[in-house]
Chain A
Amino acid sequence: MPDGALIEARALRYRYPRVAHEDALRGANLDVAAGEIVLLRGHSGSGKTTLLCVLSGLLTAQHGSVRIDGVDLATIGTAERTRLRLDRFGFVFQRFALIAALRARENVELLLRAAGLSAQDARLRAAATLDALGIGSRADRLPAELSGGEQQRVAIARALAKRPSIVFADEPTSSLDSASGMEAARLLCALARDENAAVVIASHDDRIAPLVDRVVEVTDGRCS
């Protein structure tokens, strides 16, 4: 593991309350360096998504620790974790998770405004990011008026527009056809490299492997 890893996860154990009888994570370890793109590869139920949730502070492991830039998530409060996600993390979800009532650019601007940008700066930054992803001309469409691939590009724009240190992407290709899925993954990795953002992708899609710096196999809640 490189010294000064951006993400440093140790011996993570997590069991979902009232849901499973077994641990979803069983002593998972993971390090991710700044700007590094890592693929967490594993079958359904292997613990990939749970690991993403724990790494991003959405779930708190019952055992083990997660350090982001040296800060142990267990030592900071809920409000600080929320602020950390807003300021330093970007998220790409399997089903895009766009807000249906907002236009594409508004989905991107929403987070930029929440992060403290002025309305004008948010508008300019969102437009530039959507342009970079090739959907600037569709910025005023509602999500329902966009194809799956376009929606995922809006989701990537939303994740990257605020220039996060880390992007967490959960199965970013699985809701798309083969070509669209690969295009989305390629754009995510390319734009992240441009922004020097670390990316942690959870996916069972082997085709993503050539796009990333490192592949980590996740099996039965452990990383190898």
Chain B
Amino acid sequence: MRTLAIRYVLGDVPRLIASLAGIAFVVALVLVQAGIYSAFVGSTTLLIDESDAELWVASRDMQYLEITLPLAYDAVRKIRKIDGVAHAEPLAIRSAIRQSPSGRLDYVRVVGFEPAGSSLRLGVPPAALASMKIGDFAADAAQLGALDASGIGATGTIRNVKARVAALTHGTQPIVSPTFLYATMDSAVAWSPLSLGEIMGGAPAGDSPINYVLVRLRSPADAPAVSAAIEHAVPGTRAFGRDEMAAITRAFWVRRTNIGFLLALGAIIGALGGGVVVAQILYISVNEHLREYALLKAVGIPDRALYGAIVWQAVALAVLGYVPGVVVSLVVVAIARAARNLDLAATPTDALLALGVALLICVVAGLLAVRRAVRVDPALVFDA
């Protein structure tokens, strides 16, 4: 029966191509949607993932990377004195509007940090970061268009202060956030005197407030003990582990944007569409071979063998359609990478998921179609 099932699949080339196109569409859709999801969610935590800091010290009320309350700069000094801390540095996240020489405006997120010995890994030579002066910034190369900048050296202004592209980073820009400008703390303060959260009032006195203290631990160090010591030394803060910080940020964006639900909805609708195509094609195939199915029933082939034959057809279609689907998705990934520097590559788990979806829709479509075959009157084969 497997031979028969495969022959039915391969026997009609135009129908086979139509089936494979439907399945390939579903597979490509699932893979691209999964890639978009991964790229979106992954991009929200690039700054965190690409840092050497084991602890991110922030206000207890921190919602996610970009929404938190300010800390006094003095927190850095206190944390540096704690046993087990190898390095502590400030990080400020502020908002501003940059204007290019042609007058174009871009809403930007200014990440103020201390370049020398920083825990941030921006993919920029340390010397280039260390030489940044007030008014200089590094930004992702993919954002040059948004900044209306031609490349390194391009200038603009933020609050009438020079804002010049001094270095280019790669793969550091969250998809949904404003353009991230990485600059010295002095530049950040100059461009945006009020830190995020200060609009609520009650800014700490003294030095310009910051939002995070990034901490690298001495090796070996008891991370929970150091965290407790930090939280004790700087009341109102919490020391978030890097993974925890990333998880909080990812969860915020997933919840805020409903992106998982929306992409899954798109994939489900696509899968249903592809499933209908496959079901129709299998149903037509069953109808065309109805007399042969009647023969099989008449000579004593049990229904379960007929179900088996159709399921085999469905599995063959799913596997054959999966390959071009993966190829299409790879083409889409390449286009996204070339056009927008977006990495939409699906994970191996996503690839397995897409294969599972293809198998599921084909088997369901096959089972819907086979009902016609198992209900056929076997006496039909006696009709002259």
**A interface residue numbers (CB < 8 A to B):** 49, 52-53, 56, 58-59, 79, 82-87, 89, 91, 93-95, 97, 99-102, 106, 110-111, 113-115, 158, 170-171, 174
| Pick from B1, B292, B382: contact of A49, CB under 8 Å | B382
Contact B382 A102 (CB under 8 A): no
B107-140 Cβ-contact flags toward A at 8 Å (1 or 0): 0000000000000000000000000000000000
B291 within 8 A of A: yes
* Interface-lining segment among B147-155, B296-304, B357-365: B296-304
List 19 contacting pairs A-B, 8 Å CB cutoff, sorted by A. Answer: A53-B379, A53-B382, A56-B298, A58-B378, A58-B382, A82-B300, A85-B298, A89-B300, A97-B291, A97-B295, A99-B295, A101-B7, A101-B8, A101-B11, A114-B1, A114-B302, A158-B299, A170-B382, A171-B384
B298-316 Cβ-contact flags toward A at 8 Å (1 or 0): 1111110100000000000
Contact A93 B381 (CB under 8 A): yes
4 smallest A-B Cβ distances: which pairs? A86-B300, A85-B300, A101-B7, A58-B379
Q: What residues of chain B lie closer than 8 Å to A89, measured between beta carbons?
A: 299-300
Chain B interface size band reads: 20 to 34
Q: What residues of chain A lie closer than 8 Å to B379, measured between beta carbons?
A: 53, 58-59
How far is it, in angstroms, between the C-alpha of A86 and the C-alpha of B378 when the chains are bound?
13
Nearest B residue (CB) for A175: B384
Nearest B residue (CB) for A202: B382
Contact A82 B4 (CB under 8 A): no
Query: Distance (Å) between the CB of B226 and the closest chain A CB?
Result: 68
Q: What residues of chain A lie closer than 8 Å to B291, measured between beta carbons?
A: 97
B349 within 8 A of A: no
Query: Distance (Å) between the CB of A82 and the closest chain B CB?
Result: 5
Contact B295 A83 (CB under 8 A): no
How far is it, in angstroms, between the C-alpha of A115 and the C-alpha of B302 when the chains are bound?
10
Contact B384 A99 (CB under 8 A): no
B3 within 8 A of A: yes
Contact A83 B300 (CB under 8 A): yes
Q: What residues of chain B lie closer than 8 Å to A87, measured between beta carbons?
A: 300
Contact A86 B295 (CB under 8 A): no
Q: What residues of chain A lie closer than 8 Å to B305, measured between beta carbons?
A: 114
Q: What residues of chain B lie closer than 8 Å to A86, measured between beta carbons?
A: 299-302
Known: A101-B11, A102-B4, A114-B1. A94 touches B384 (CB 8 A): yes
Known: A97-B381, A101-B4, A102-B3. A91 touches B302 (CB 8 A): no
Q: What residues of chain A lie closer than 8 Å to B297, measured between beta carbons?
A: 82
Q: Report B279-298 residues with CB < 8 Å from chain A CB.
A: 291-292, 295, 297-298
| Pick from B7, B300, B384: contact of A102, CB under 8 Å | B7
Query: Distance (Å) between the CB of A218 and the closest chain B CB?
Result: 15
Nearest A residue (CB) for B10: A101
How far is it, in angstroms, between the C-alpha of A114 and the C-alpha of B4 when the chains are bound?
12
Query: Distance (Å) between the CB of A81 and the closest chain B CB?
Result: 9
Contact B300 A79 (CB under 8 A): no
Contact B299 A91 (CB under 8 A): yes
Q: Report B297-339 residues with CB < 8 Å from chain A CB.
A: 297-303, 305
- Of the candidates A52, A53, A82, A87, the one having the most CB atoms from chain B within 10 angstroms of its own CB is A82
Q: What residues of chain A lie closer than 8 Å to B295, measured between beta carbons?
A: 93, 97, 99
How far is it, in angstroms, between the C-alpha of A115 and the C-alpha of B300 when the chains are bound?
9
A82-B300, A89-B300, A110-B4 are known; give 13 further A-B pairs, CB within 8 A: A49-B382, A53-B379, A58-B379, A58-B382, A82-B302, A86-B301, A93-B381, A97-B291, A102-B3, A106-B4, A111-B301, A113-B1, A114-B1
Q: What residues of chain A lie closer than 8 Å to B11, measured between beta carbons?
A: 101
| Pick from A84, A100, A170: contact of B300, CB under 8 Å | A84
Nearest B residue (CB) for A84: B300
Contact B4 A99 (CB under 8 A): yes
Query: Distance (Å) between the CB of B374 and the closest chain A CB?
Result: 11
Q: What residues of chain A lie closer than 8 Å to B384, measured between beta carbons?
A: 94-95, 171, 174
B20-45 Cβ-contact flags toward A at 8 Å (1 or 0): 00000000000000000000000000
